[in-house]
Amino acid sequence: MGLLSKKDAKLITDPLADNNPITIQVLGICSALAITAQLKASIVMSLSVLFVMGVGNVVISLIRNIIPSKIRIIVQLTVVAALVIIVDQVLKAYAYSLSKELSVFIGLIITNCIIMGRFEAFALGNGPWKSFLDGIGNALGYAVILVIVGFFRELLGSGTLLGFKVLGDPIEKTGLYAIGYENNGFMLLSPMALIVVGIIIWVQRSRNKDLIED
């Protein structure tokens, strides 16, 4: 890769798997449980977090030397809040039904532990370019899990993907439903998201034994 040095590239690729914010650091679980019943909602949520984290990390990194350390949490919150409001307003303007569906969870991005965690752990001690990569990387790591969970929950729970009836029509009994298949209502409930995340963690750790902590 010409654009990124090896070290910089690692900032993006590490959070995708071996240092994933959800499955390894176990951060940002709440939104992963709440909004993954539909794949579309997961994707929009991921994009919102991607924007907030990418921009937020750069902003914090730029002003890191002038933030008094005693009030840095408040400054960080202000930055996230401002960005989240932008996302919220954009969604309300251009994707009203989705914004209704995601309801408070867009607003709750402010409290997403991944974001505050990266501000604290990375942006306050690194330059803007690196912080940007780190923000993007972690948001992508978050997105990967959200999309996987959203994919399985929507497919097995509603029999659709992004709203398309990929398994047939449950009411008119076409496709899989013709032979007696039924949607799994459990998949639409939040506990199942927790279990799916758990299974992802299980698979990941049994593939890479280094991740298992004693």
Count other C-beta atoms under 10 Å from residue 53's C-beta: 30
Among 26, 162, 166, 202, binds other proteins (CB under 8 A): 202
| Tokens representing residue 52 in the block | 């907030």
Pairwise CA distance, residues 104 & 99, whole Å: 9
We find the least distance from the C-beta atom of residue 201 to other proteins, in angstroms, to be 10
Among 125, 127, 163, 185, binds other proteins (CB under 8 A): 185
Give yes or no for residue 129 binding other proteins (CB under 8 A).
no
CA distances to 21, 79, 202, 209, 212 from 102, rounded to whole Å, are 21, 21, 28, 36, 34
Residues 9/190, Cβ–Cβ less than 8 Å: no
Give yes or no for residue 96 binding other proteins (CB under 8 A).
no
Give yes or no for residue 180 binding other proteins (CB under 8 A).
yes
Choose between 2 and 180: whose C-beta lies nearer to other proteins.
Answer: 180
Give yes or no for residue 189 binding other proteins (CB under 8 A).
yes
Count other C-beta atoms under 10 Å from residue 130's C-beta: 18
Give yes or no for residue 50 binding other proteins (CB under 8 A).
no
Give yes or no for residue 171 binding other proteins (CB under 8 A).
no
Kindly indicate which of the ranges 56-64, 106-114, 124-132, 185-193 contains the residues binding other proteins, using the contact rule CB under 8 A: 185-193
- What residue has token string 């730029």? 62
Choose between 111 and 183: whose C-beta lies nearer to other proteins.
Answer: 183
Among 45, 187, 193, 197, binds other proteins (CB under 8 A): 187
| Distant-in-sequence, close-in-space partners of 11: CB < 8 Å, separation ≥ 6 | 130, 133, 134, 137
Count other C-beta atoms under 10 Å from residue 85's C-beta: 13
Q: Which residues contact other proteins by CB under 8 A?
A: 180-182, 184-187, 189, 195, 198-199, 202
